[in-house]
Structure 1
């Protein structure tokens, strides 16, 4: 029995797929299958039910899963304690577009300094898609709005954003207090329902008993800003993030009563995942997160 065999088994069982596990470990599927077959021969037990399309652990496989996770955690701690501290290997994780455009480069620089042998594999997507991948084990963690509702996930708040309504000055005057009439008259442009921000907006609407007859959606914060500055409708943005657009008179701030709620950003990870890499990257994200940074592309005046 080797650690590579246990690693292959652990990820195949966690992801429910030999193919996904092979991709995760950067090996061919045949190599991964060979490791698992060797482990089964060594233990004298069949570890997967191979009759279906998914890799479903047998009873013996389920008994082995916790042991395999523990052995991989021990290996990680040995490398950390004896090898001088840096984490090795790779980490696949999810972030929002806003994080990618603001403080993520600082996060990467810190990781490269402290863990030069750790390969980062970020995925930029909307909240719900990243949460699904995290629950399935396809990601190690995700830094997105939260906290997560799933009992399988843990969340640590690392910051929050203040949101406000915005419009192009040719559509509404600065300081306009929005009423139900404005929402009837002006299209509201939001991110798709897959975004955590869109979910917070829906809760705000329900609390105010407001109806939005005309709504446009998109999957990109950058595109959303462009649509609003073009005068196609109104939307809500992180106040600090869009400051350059306000200073350039491309956007004006509107008022609402009550104001929009602040949105918490959290580091999410699987409750059963105690690996040193996840713990270390959670610490780095907490220490490098900076939600006061503005949009990187200042519009021309």
Structure 2
């Protein structure tokens, strides 16, 4: 009996799929199946009923899952005692929302790569709810997105808070316009799609205020929404710091509403039963680098203009 066999059994049982468990452990499905079969031979019990298309835990398998979990936790504790955090290696698959990818993701990856050169990072950009489902299924090690978590088997800890503001093309509304219920119900609103934590928060806010938003278009990309607002397709709500370059340039106006838009917490999501050293380390790096209020240079038109001027002067 080996820990690799126990690990294969544990994740196949908890994720409900041999293929997903194999992806999580970065092995082939045949290798994972072989490890589970070897474990069954070692303990003298069949742990999965393979008589149907999808394997299910037997009674013996159900009894052994909690024990397998405790054994893997002990392995993690042992590794904490005998190795430094700089020994991280392998592959880390994680998810982030688009706002994270456009702001502090480069700093996060740079820092992790510097301190853990043997660890391969594979970021995946998506909306909050799809990311949470991928964490739940074990397809991602962790995710950073708006929350809170919707699934009982996923836990989240707050890593940042983002303020939002309304945005419009200057030809549609003046910058001193205060959006009230009547304006918000008459203007075309561009939102994120249903899988967005932001859309869920705004819909809850509107319902609490008795406001029926006239949503005429939904999009799953912040950058695409900016382009749509720039073309005066409608107004939208965007992260305040993210919006600043276009406001400073005069191509968009930032607007307040009465009542004001809610702020939104961003969370570090992981499975409640996943206590690997890797996740503790990644959570620490997220805390160190998560800066939602900073505008990245590649989005700031003033920075681009200044760089072009500097090149022209040389």
The answer to whether the 8 Å contact 2:161/2:263 transfers is yes
Report the CA distance between 1:119 and its aligned residue.
Answer: 2.4
Report the CA distance between 1:215 and its aligned residue.
Answer: 2.2
Report the CA distance between 1:117 and its aligned residue.
Answer: 2.5
Q: Take 1:263 and 1:16, find their aligned partners in 2: how far apart are those partners? A: 33
Report the CA distance between 1:137 and its aligned residue.
Answer: 2.6
Partner of 2:245: 244
Q: Take 2:152 and 2:28, find their aligned partners in 1: how far apart are those partners? A: 33
Report the CA distance between 1:6 and its aligned residue.
Answer: 1.6
Q: Secondary structure at the match of 1:31?
A: helix
The normalised TM-score by structure 2 is 0.89
Q: Take 1:93 and 1:112, find their aligned partners in 2: how far apart are those partners? A: 15
Q: Secondary structure at the match of 1:242?
A: helix
The answer to whether the 8 Å contact 1:79/1:87 transfers is no
- Structure 1 unaligned regions, length at least 5: none
Report the CA distance between 1:214 and its aligned residue.
Answer: 4.0
Cα distance, 1:76–1:121 mapped onto 2, change above 3 Å: farther
The normalised TM-score by structure 1 is 0.93
Q: Take 2:300 and 2:53, find their aligned partners in 1: how far apart are those partners? A: 49
Partner of 1:48: 48
Partner of 1:213: 214
The answer to whether the 8 Å contact 1:240/1:294 transfers is yes
Higher helix share: 2
> Which is further off, 236-245 or 53-62?
53-62
> Equivalent residues in 2 for 1:265-284 (5 A)?
265-284=266-285
> Which is further off, 276-285 or 288-297?
288-297
Report the CA distance between 1:168 and its aligned residue.
Answer: 0.8
Cα distance, 1:81–1:88 mapped onto 2, change above 3 Å: farther
> Which is further off, 44-53 or 73-82?
73-82
> Which is further off, 86-95 or 26-35?
86-95
Partner of 2:113: 112
> Equivalent residues in 2 for 1:255-294 (5 A)?
255-294=256-295
Q: Take 2:63 and 2:143, find their aligned partners in 1: how far apart are those partners? A: 28
Q: Take 1:159 and 1:243, find their aligned partners in 2: how far apart are those partners? A: 19
Report the CA distance between 1:10 and its aligned residue.
Answer: 1.9
- Per-residue deviation, residues 145-202 of structure 1 (Å, max 9, x unmatched): 1222433222211110110111010111112111333234321001001100000110
Q: Take 1:246 and 1:25, find their aligned partners in 2: how far apart are those partners? A: 46
Partner of 1:70: 70
Query: What is the RMSD computed on CA atoms of the aligned residues?
Result: 1.9
Number of aligned positions between the proteins: 301
Report the CA distance between 1:280 and its aligned residue.
Answer: 1.4
Q: Secondary structure at the match of 1:291?
A: coil
Partner of 1:175: 176
Q: Take 2:252 and 2:55, find their aligned partners in 1: how far apart are those partners? A: 51
The answer to whether the 8 Å contact 2:76/2:275 transfers is no
Partner of 2:299: 297
